[in-house]
Amino acid sequence: MTVRRARGVILRLVRRRPLAVAVGVAMAAPAFWLELSGGSGAWWVEGLGLVLLATGAALIWAGITGPKPDWIDATVNAELAEHTEDQ
């Protein structure tokens, strides 16, 4: 899988909020257990667990908060401020 394709899959996953939370929990739960159990002997297992835990937490956060706009339109904010002042 190329990097662009993987990026596209992750971006589409984040747009589906319930699925992002579910995948995030599915990634973070075993990694969290792996970190707390301390039973792994290999250094790379601990590193992989940290990466999975961080990625799962990021997906959970993205699923809870949702996508944010890339910009804030100044004219919309000015109109909104005028509307709230009139009331």
Give the residue, 56 or 86, on which the prediction is more confident: 56
What are the residue ranges spanned by the domains of the chain? Answer: 3-86
d(CA 56, CA 26) in angstroms, rounded, equals 7
Fill in the amino acid letter for 74: A
d(CA 62, CA 56) in angstroms, rounded, equals 10
28 closest CA partner among 61, 57, 58: 57
- In tens, the pLDDT along 6-55 reads 899 988 998 999 999 999 999 999 988 988 887 767 888 888 889 999 99
